[in-house]
Each structure stands twice: as structure tokens, then as C-alpha cells.
Amino acid sequence: MSVPGVKETAWAHRSALRRKSLVSIVAAVVLPRGLARFNRVVTNRVTGPFAALFPAFGVVAHTGRKSGRTYRTPVNAFRTRDGYVVPLTYGPEAEWVRNVLAAGGCELITRGNRVRLTDPRVVRDETRRCVPPPVRAALKAAGARDFLFLTRA
């Protein structure tokens, strides 16, 4: 999906994920890595069962690049014309994002429905126009400006 005034980042290209130098070039992590670890261990386990039931929330089911294991990551997800957009509050280098990009898609469980999504693209949108207006202020405060666009299969 193309959003006016928004450009796709180098992260959209799978081979770029393999280059260690790009990881250091990407903007600083939006939220602290320690908070990401805490959320992965504690918060995700508590919110995971409920996230798939409420509007603007969902659970991304993805496969590990190295382990082949299936993971479930709670996210905010918003519908687009042809799929969904997920704000990347921990940046495009988060493991779950890298897994989705490497696999070429994932499943999103939202509002009790399971949706197969393909063609993942990381897009930088400084204006945050790709999400609803009430969400923009919170994302701006968190410094989030990268988004994962996914197309419905």
C-alpha cells in the first residue's frame, strides 16, 4: 500500500536484514530494550489471551527464523484498504518483525478471527497518517514512526 508522503525504508528488503551495518544505521530504538524484554516475559503473557478479542489489538502468529518455532506477539493492529498496519513501537529491528519479514507474512488473530497476511513492508511515516487520529499522539509521544504494512492473502 502506498501512502502519500511516506517512503519505504531499507528494512522492507529482506536481504537488508542480513547486513549488520544497517542495524546500526537505523534510528535509535523507540522504547528501551529492557522494557521490550519485560513485556516479552511478563506483559505479553498477561495480555496475549485478551488482545485477540478487542478492536485495535491483535496477536501476530509468526515463525522463528532460526528455531522454526511458532511465536505469538500481542500488537496494535489497524485495518487498511487491503490489509492491516501495525505500529512498530520497538522499531523495525524487533525480532518478531524480522521473523515476519523473513517468512514473507504471518497470521493476525484479531476480534476472534484469524487472518492470513502477506507482503510485509516496513514504512517510515513521520506524520503517522496511516493510523487513526487518536492513536497518533500516543505514537508520537513514544517516538514511533515505523509501521509494518501487511496485505490480506
Which residue ranges make up each domain of the chain? Answer: 7-152
pTM, whole model, 2 decimals? 0.72
Per-residue pLDDT of the chain (153 residues; tens, 9 = 90+): 445 455 555 444 444 444 433 333 333 445 566 766 666 656 666 666 667 777 899 999 999 999 999 999 999 999 999 999 999 998 999 999 999 999 999 999 999 899 999 999 999 999 999 999 999 999 999 899 999 999 999
φ and ψ of 5, to 5 deg: 80, 5
Which string of DSSP letters, residue by residue, matches 82-118? SEEEEE-TT-TTSHHHHHHHHHTEEEEEETTEEEEEE
Fold of 7-152: Pnp Oxidase; Chain A (2.30.110)
Q: What share of the chain is helix, strand, coil (3-state, %, to 5)?
A: 35, 30, 35
